[in-house]
Structures are given as structure tokens and as C-alpha cells.
Amino acid sequence: MSETQADALVFFGATGDLAYKKIFPALQALVQRGTLNVPVVGVAKSGWTLDQLKARARDSVEHHGGLDQDAFARLCDLLRYVDGDYGDPKTFEQLRQGLGSAKHPVHYLAIPPDVFELVFEQLQKSGCAEGARVVVEKPLGHNLASAQELNRTLHSIFDEKDIFRIDHYLGKNTVQNLLFFRFSNSFVEPIWNRRYVESVEITMSESFGVQGRGSFYDHTGAIRDVVQNHLLQVLTNIAMEPPPGSETEILRDIRVMVLRGIRSLRPEDVVRGQFRGYRQEPGVNPESTVETFVALRLFINSWRWKGVPFYIRAGKCLANTVTEVVVKLYQPPAIFGDVPPPANYYRFRVTPELQIAVGAFVKVPGEEDRGEEQELLILHPEDPNEMGAYEELLHDALQGNCVHFARQDYVEESWRIVDPVLDNATPIHEYEPGTWGPAEAEAIGPHGGWYNPRVE
């Protein structure tokens, strides 16, 4: 039934942080566009009333995107609220009543993963799972074994086609643009392979720390938080084969094939770091060995990419906040003089804004054959009418379009890759906030050193 238009949206965790920062602004935006006109039922255990939830929603949109009086009023007309414990069958009896005649609801679980299974069981017992879809937030497990167990639980209630595993990075237009740029420009594909590409770097740096989420982060770490999901999604968009069509399952098949070609990581492929002061953060174990930084090196066993190293680096309290991909080409030979010019490259900025750049070497004016590096830059200004990531993903879930959601085999393959280096498989190296991580990361980095993104 995944192609059926949903006739209700239920979101668990309606009074939580994710709902406040992302969901309510996305819902108002959908109403603005006229694409949300079904009942929206919030579920939480806070002792709140519907009026209190509406007040929370108003505060949310005022602080995250701006209040649209007309759209917000229409959202309030759609809004319902069920207050109760997720372990209490009466909560789900009220939910079933609140859904009224809806036969194809979408259940969005914006809640901690340790209560997923409880909610799944209650949805099934109450009849709310019948004809429904479910949207599950990351983390989708804590390792490969727990991800497999979560999938078994999901499949005992829902068909795979009705399970939408959300990763908001797939909803970002800048990430989608990696595919569009690759497969819509004939000057890219002929050189997008091991003959011309020396290495690929993916960097996701954040200049801030754990921002009061120490207790959560200390059970997660950088590999689980962003590498296993966001950055492997970026990698598959960079490395996938040209699809023979735009059908959803074809695109998902090709992404999974990329991951299947990656050998599981070994300790010698990984360097973990922790910023100085992390252990003093509220909620963090004073002797924590959880990584706030990771650098890793991997290879894809395919005809296109055999022997090309892919480098991933992610961390908190680094020099700036930016996510960027650099595809470095082999250095050309020296023709004008004895020193070869620097290697050309493609650079894709994913956040905070879209940039696509080509690094080239051009002649400096004058009689001498002397050159300098220049970037040919495409800067995509932010479009106020562009759908945000959560807005687009919620819209897709309501429509039954799963192209930007992770399939079971994709999730399990991504966990397989990182599973051997989770937790304390490698030493932890301290680094100073505001730097690019521990010096030890250079040992597994690209020839010539890591490319450090610049933010003006």
C-alpha cells in the first residue's frame, strides 16, 4: 500500500525536541503549500492539553522558520493530541478513536529507539498498524546485531514497502544535487573512475560541541551519529553507477551495491579523537572513551573504483561548520617548466550552502609561463521557496514515495562496514577545540594531507 496517499499523520514524541525544532516548522510549510490537509495527531506523555500543544507548536515555528498566521491557523485545525504512556493500551485506544475513519495513517516515531518495539506492539494490538506506514528516525540500531533485530521486529508488523527509515541528509537538495550534477553533465562521467580520480575526501566538521546532549552523545559517538548514516549516504551518491532509470527500487539497488563493495573497516583504517573538555560536559562519563572525531579510509571493490581511497572525516569542536566532498584527480605532467601543476579537483559543498567548484590551473598574465590555482565556482543561493529536508521527507512519506528513505539491506550493509571499529576498537586521541582533530589522523589521510574546507 506504499503508493496510497495517507489520510492521517501521527507523530509520537509530539512534545519533544525534534518536534519543536523540525517537525512543526515542516508541518506549517506543508500546509502553506497546500500539500497537508489530513488530521495530524500528536502523541506524548507530558500531561498536556491540545491547547498546550498548539502553544508549543506556535513557539516552535516562531523560532524555527517564522510564523505564517494563515498556515498556522489551518495547521491548528488539523492538529489533535493524545496524552498517555506508550506502554498503556488505553493510549492507543484513544489514538484509534482519534484517527476516526482514517484507514491509511502514517506513524512517525520521533522518539528514543529504546521504546520503538513497545510502540510497534501497541500499534499492532490496537489495530492502528493495519493499512499504515511507519517512519522511523535514526539511530536505526546501535550496531549490526541490534539493527537486524529492529528489522525483524518491524517486519513482524509491517511490510518492507511500508517502512520508511528516515535520514534527513537524503532530503537535502544539496545531497540530491550530487547525483544530478554527475549524471546530467557529459564532461563528468568519462573521468569519474579509477583512471582519473586519485582520491575522494568527505569532511563533515562542526565548530560546536555536544550542546547539552552529552548523555545521548556519550552512548553514540561520531561513527554512529553521522558516519554510518549521513556520510555513507553522501559516499553512495558520489560512487554509485549510472542508474538505468529513475524508478525508486533501481536507485536503492544501486546504492546498496556500492556498500556491498566496501570491505568492513579494520582498526588500522581508523583514527578516533576526543576534544579536550568533552569529559567535563554534563552527562558525559568522566572517563569516557567515546569519539567526538573520527577519520577513516576505505576502498570500493568495483571496476570503477578499484584502488581509489575514499577518506571520511567527521568531528565536533573543529575549525568550522561545513560538509564538503573533494574529488581529487591525478596530477598532470610538467609541460610548462619542470614542476608539475597541482592536481585538478571537483569540490561539492553540502552544508551550509550548495557550492560546486572545479579546481583549475591557469596562466598568470605576463611573458613568463607561470600559473596559479583558480576555482570555477557555482554558488547556489538559498531559495526561500525550496522545500526543507524534513518538509520533503514528510511529504514523501505521506505520498508513499520511499526513494529518499533507507531500505533494510542498506541499513544493515552500512552497519556491517563500521561494526568492527565501534566502541573501543582503536585508541582515543585528544585534540584541541578549534583545530582539525588529532595529529594522528594524518597517518591515514590522503597523499599531501587532508583538504581543510574554508568558510568565508
Residue from 104, 142, 230, 404 carrying the catalytic annotation:
230
Question: Could you confirm whether 107 is annotated as catalytic?
Answer: no
3-state SS of the chain is CCCCCCCEEEEECCCCHHHHHHHHHHHHHHHHHCCCCCCEEEEECCCCCHHHHHHHHHHHHHHCCCCCHHHHHHHHHHEEEEECCCCCHHHHHHHHHHHCCCCCEEEEECCCHHHHHHHHHHHHHHCCCCCCEEEECCCCCCCHHHHHHHHHHHHCCCCHHHEEECCHHHHCHHHHHHHHHHHHCCCCHHHCCCCCEEEEEEEEECCCCCCCCHHHHCCCHHHHHHHHHHHHHHHHHHHCCCCCCCCHHHHHHHHHHHHHCECCCCHHHEEEEEECCHHHCCCCCCCCCCCCEEEEEEEECCCCCCCCEEEEEEECCECCCEEEEEEEECCCCCCCCCCCCCCCEEEEEEECCEEEEEEEEEECCCCCCCEEEEEEEEEECCCCCCCCHHHHHHHHHHHCCCCCCECHHHHHHHHHHHHHHCCCCCCEEEECCCECCCHHHHHHCCCCCCCCCCCC
Residue positions annotated with a catalytic role? 230
